Amino acid sequence: MAATAERALGKATSRSGEHLLGVATLVALGVSAVLSLVVAPPDAVQGEVQRIMYVHVPAAWLAYLSFFVVFIASIAYLKTKKTRWDRVAAASAEIGVLFTSLAIVLGMLWGKPVWGTWWTWDPRLTTTAVLLLIYVAYLAIRRVTDNPSRRARWAAVIGIVGFIDVPIVHLSVVWWRSLHQGPTVFRLGGPEIEGTMLLALLVGVAAFTITYAYLMTLRLRVGRLEERAAREALSPLVGAER
């Protein structure tokens, strides 16, 4: 299974795969913007401001996906000790931090007109802030040591342990009394959302997922190039043999 995943990763990260994903990302984000800003109706209670949902929710879901990839790649690294998995985990963590930050900022922009405040120490908001801190710490730890295998090992442990917060964030609105609304799509009895709104939301999630795939291909290429430059700078002899 690991070999199949590696082959798929190799195909997706080729330059032609990267260009194809770039075009697909632009098209998907464009379609998503039209659906969410033009086609979907305004919310009966919140009005136009509810349209922030079509970017806020996909950003949050993609943060979960990014950290899930960090979790899986970290386990794969500890099992195989292959640098490639460490590179995947590092790339996904960086993108996950971007999506988490985006979800928080978009939540603040939605919260101000609806709740009357930019921020409150609500369980969902607090656990999300903790999630962001965990993965910022993950990225910081990677800069602490120059030893590649020690760095990868420490990071993998944080990548596995840190993932515990993801289900806590997701279920915080069910476990504790929260100002944040509960699950709308994944709930017993089916989604509690109007059809066009659900379509716009799902297209938004799909568009953000393609964006994530594109950013991953770019970030993996950057990782390879930066590692090569560092290797060549540190080891003139090895570099001279190439």
Partner 1 sequence: MAPNAGYVIAGYLVTALALGGYTLRLFARARAAKRRSETIAGRRRDG
Q: Which residues bind to partner 1, rule: CB under 8 A?
A: 29, 33, 37, 42, 47-49, 51-52, 55-56, 59, 95, 98, 101-102, 105-106, 109-110, 112-113, 211, 214-215, 218-219, 221-222, 225-226, 228-229, 232-233, 236, 239-240
Nearer to partner 1, 127 or 217 (CB): 217
Nearer to partner 1, 33 or 157 (CB): 33
164: left (phi over 0), alpha (psi -120 to 50) or beta: alpha
Q: How far is the CB of 190 from partner 1 (least distance, A)?
A: 27
What is the residue type of 175?
W
Q: How far is the CB of 130 from partner 1 (least distance, A)?
A: 21
Q: In angstroms, rounded to a whole number, what is the distance separating the alpha carbons of residues 206 and 215?
A: 14
Bridge partners for 43 per DSSP: 47
Nearer to partner 1, 48 or 194 (CB): 48
Nearer to partner 1, 151 or 153 (CB): 151
Q: How far is the CB of 226 from partner 1 (least distance, A)?
A: 5
Residue 77: count of CB within 10 angstroms of its CB: 24
Helices 195-234, 53-80: axis angle to 10 degrees equals 40
Alpha carbon 7 to chain centroid, angstroms: 22
